[in-house]
A and B are shown apart, each in its own frame.
Chain A
Amino acid sequence: MTVTDQALLRLVQLTDSAFPTGAFAHSFGLETYVARGLVHSATGLEEFISNMLLNALAPSDGVACVAVYRAEDCWEDVVRELAHRLTAMKTVSEFRQASRALGVRFLRTATQILALPRAVGYLAAIEAKTLDGHLSLAYGLICRDLEWPLPPALAAWFRQSCAALVSVGVRLIPLGQTEGQALLARLATPILEAVELALGRDTDDLASFAPGQELAGMIHRDVLTTRLYIS
Chain B
Amino acid sequence: MALPARPHGRLSLEFICDHGRTVIARQRSYPPLQIFGLQYASASGNAYLQIVNPSGGLLAGDMADIEVTLQPGAHVYLTTQAATKVYPAERGDVTRQRIWLRVAHAAILEYVPLPLIPFAHAKYVQEMAIHVDLGGVCLIAEVLAPGRMARGERFAYDMVRSRVEGWVGDRLALFEQMILEPRQRSYEGWGLLEGRTYLATLYALTSQPLETRVPEWNRQLLQPYGESVGINALAHGGLVVRLLGHTSQEVLRRLHEVHRLIREQGLGLPPLHVYRPFA
Contact = CB atoms under 8 A, between A and B. Distances in A.
Interface size range on A against B: 35 or more
Interface string A23-62: 0000001001100101100001001100110111001000
A13 B249 CA distance: 53
Nearest to B215: A222
A104 to B, nearest CB: 16
Contacts of B228: 215
A219 B190 contact: no
Contacts of B193: 211-212
Contact of B191 (A87, A89, A210): A210
Contacts of A55: 187, 191-192
Interface stretch (B12-20, B60-68, B232-240): B232-240
Nearest to A100: B235
B253 to A, nearest CB: 18
A212 B194 contact: yes
Interface in A128-172: 132
B224 to A, nearest CB: 13
Contact of A208 (B178, B214, B235): B178
B260 to A, nearest CB: 19
Contacts of A52: 191
* Interface of A (DSSP majority class): helix
A205 interface: yes
- Which among B192, B215, B236 has the highest number of chain A CB atoms within 10 Å? B192
A48 B175 contact: no
A92 interface: yes
Nearest to B218: A222
B199 interface: yes
A51 B186 CA distance: 10
B172 A219 contact: no
B8 to A, nearest CB: 23
Interface of B: 166, 171-180, 185, 187, 189-194, 199, 214-215, 218-219, 222, 227-236, 240, 242, 244
7 contacts: A51-B189, A84-B171, A88-B175, A91-B174, A205-B179, A208-B178, A209-B187
The 5 A-B residue pairs with the shortest CB-CB distance, nearest first, are A218-B230, A222-B218, A51-B191, A88-B175, A213-B191
